Amino acid sequence: MAQINPSILSADFARLAQEAEAVRGSDWLHVDVMDNHFVPNLTLGIPVVESLSRATDIPLDCHLMIEDPDRWAPQYVEAGAGSVTFHVEAAAAPVRLAREIRAKGARASMALKPGTPIEPYEDLLPELDMLLIMTVEPGFGGQAFLDIMLPKIRRTRELIAKHDLELWLQVDGGVSASTIERCAEAGADVFVAGSAVYGAEDPAQAVAGLRSLAES
Ligand code: DX5
Ligand code: ZN
């Protein structure tokens, strides 16, 4: 079944509790953490994740676009994240880090920027609960979906099948009513959507619409 994770990057940061409420029925809330070093943008950090986890029942899917995730990612589990995604480009010891996230009780996930291939990381897949394939350059919401990522999604789905893994395959960036079917067809099963959800008049209805397209 397809999961839709609204990204609060496109929400009103002064009203996060209400913005979470507006997407009731979503599987996870996607929380983009940016440090102005790994990506050229700055968003929020541990105190906001702590507050948000108390303010909503929707589990938090924290996407860390930060340097030194080896140091910070475990603290996001303590702050209340149910899933923590680190970027492989920034991690010093991805296997150790994934194990630490799992040991602390969250789902461990690893992200690949558009220019990062999956093949060198095939042997790491059993250490993960989710793999995130970025379909835009990380840093900003509202960018155009990169169609050239579809073959990578397809190849990753093949690797997951080859190793018979229970790994979720997430896509993030430019996912909308006009691109989600292509992602699903290529093998993604978890869909992050920021502007397509929070830019809609009725965010909950946008989530339902995306879900039915992904499952069609
Ligand atoms: C971008 C973030 C995304 C962003 C997606 O770096 O990781 O989660 O919120 O926004 P849309 O869906 O508008 O492309
Ligand atoms: Zn994200």
pLDDT at 40: 98
pLDDT in tens, 77-106: 999 999 999 999 999 999 999 999 999 999
* Tokens coding 133: 């394939």
Read off the pTM: 0.98
pLDDT in tens, 38-71: 999 999 999 999 999 999 999 999 999 999 999 9
In the beta sheet, which residues pair with residue 60? 29
Verify whether residue 32 is a known catalytic residue. yes
Report d(CA 201, CA 182) in Å as an integer: 24
* Tokens coding 43: 């968003």
In the beta sheet, which residues pair with residue 133? 112, 171
- Which is the closest atom of ligand 1 to the Cα of 8? 9
pLDDT in tens, 154-197: 999 999 999 999 999 999 999 999 999 999 999 999 999 999 99
**Do 50 and 56 meet the contact criterion of CB atoms below 8 Å apart?**
no
Per annotation, catalytic residue among 27, 32, 35, 129: 32
In the beta sheet, which residues pair with residue 132? 111, 170
pLDDT at 203: 98
pLDDT at 112: 99
pLDDT at 63: 99
**In the CATH hierarchy, which fold is given to the domain comprising 3-214?**
TIM Barrel (3.20.20)
pLDDT at 200: 98
Verify whether residue 68 is a known catalytic residue. no
- DSSP letter string, 146-157: -GGGHHHHHHHH
Q: Which of 5, 8, 10 to mutate to test the pocket of ligand 1 (most atoms within 8 A of CB)?
A: 10
Judged against a pLDDT cut of 90, whether residue 1 lies above it is answered with: no
Geometric angle at alpha carbon 105, from 103 and 111, rounded to 5°: 85
pLDDT in tens, 106-123: 999 999 999 999 999 999
Q: What is the Cα gyration radius of the chain?
A: 16
Q: Which amino acid is at 60?
A: L
- The residue count for the chain: 216
pLDDT at 25: 85
Q: Which amino acid is at 154?
A: R
Q: Which of 4, 5, 7 to mutate to test the pocket of ligand 1 (most atoms within 8 A of CB)?
A: 7
For the question of an ipTM over 0.90, the answer is: yes
- DSSP letter string, 20-75: HHTTTT-S-EEEEEEBSSSSS-B---HHHHHHHHHH-SSPEEEEEE-S-HHHHHHH
